[in-house]
Amino acid sequence: WETNGTLWLCHVTNFIVEESTSLLSFTPSTAQHPPSFLKVKDTIVLPCCFEILSLNCGTLMKETLRYLAGIVGPSGYGSKSTAEQVAHSCSYLVDSQRLTAIITGATSGIGAETARAVAKRGVRVVIPARDIKKAAELKERIRKDNPNAEVILCEIDLSSLASVKRFCNEFLALGLPLNILINNAGIFSQKLEFSEDKFEMTFATNYLGHYLLTEMLIEKMIETAEQTGIQGRIINLSSVIHSWVGRDCFHFNQMLHPINYNGTRAYAQSKLATILHAKEIAKQLKAKNANVTINAVHPGIVKTGIFRAHKGFITGKNLHILGASTSCYVALSPQVEGMSGKYFVDCNESNCSVLANDESEARRLWRQTRALIRRRLYQTPC
């Protein structure tokens, strides 16, 4: 529990869960005091989601301690590993060939650090951005850190299907290879907003835009992998809060046009969708015997620009250099060669929710999304 700004962790046998205006507060009812407490500077606040939040307290404490202590997992990395450390130690990159990576949402936060770390390792970075001025500023910072870095800027609005299609056509016209696609961009909105396609903004940006981006670029990635012999890798940024979504509140049409909007729920739904997307595309790639993988990652508990407007939502790991490490690991590490359809947390494979592992749900979502985009963008039947 927290006293005077300090979080004290001990073994707690039972919790009383009290719901406040915006948070779930955990109050120990009975506690066995160990010889010493663990004093930490980080503060973790769990937001109140929608209806019921079920937690295994023993698992919660174990994972919280692992996270705060930065204990490394089987990969040799943990929550305290930085993006640059991970990228530097990876031998996946072939020195004689320059890899190309597209990273969305790279103008700030985790995306910017991911771009900086992989560019420093020699990867050509393509940054599609809505704000070209911010993208240019990032390019300047990357070039200052690494004068030989190649950074290409393009314009995109991920909430707009037409804009995503336009970017993909522009990129393909460049004739560049494509080895890595990091679907990093994401938004969190407390108020209900709609995209130009008349879809709820969070779902449109975090999921629909990246679905179309992946669909239009995946053949280029397969082609690049065949020509170079280097495995292509797609990374979907998800979140641990995907597990807060129950089957009863994961309905496609309701996510497109919600009636009773809840910002946290919308964000969690979009992040569940990104995992299901990775699961389904992984199956399709395997069926094609394609040398391309797709995985989902949770970057850890990081304060990013997404949550600026949501006071108290999450405080804790405030360093983007740590939050970007898992994306870099899955994009570059030889340890994940051939792994596809998996979920990673703090640079290690982890477990996602039962619903996120539901193959029929993943297939259903893919079919519904495909039909929607074809009707909206191509004016053709599914």
- List, by residue number, the catalytic residues: 261
Which contacts of 252-260 are long-range, i.e. CB under 8 A and separated by 24 or more positions?
A: 252/364, 252/365, 252/368, 252/369, 255/200, 255/203, 256/199, 256/200, 256/203, 256/372, 257/198, 257/199, 257/200, 258/192, 258/200
**Residue 156 burial class via C-beta count within 10 angstroms: exposed 0-12, middle 13-18, buried 19 and up:** buried
Between strands 38-40 and 348-349, the pairing is: unpaired
**AA identity, residue 230:** I
Q: How far apart are CA 227 and CA 374, in angstroms?
A: 30
Q: How far apart are CA 152 and CA 170, in angstroms?
A: 12
Residues near 290 by beta carbon (within 8 Å), at least 6 away in sequence: 222, 225, 232
Q: How far apart are CA 200 and CA 207, in angstroms?
A: 11
Between strands 24-32 and 343-345, the pairing is: unpaired
Q: How far apart are CA 96 and CA 113, in angstroms?
A: 24
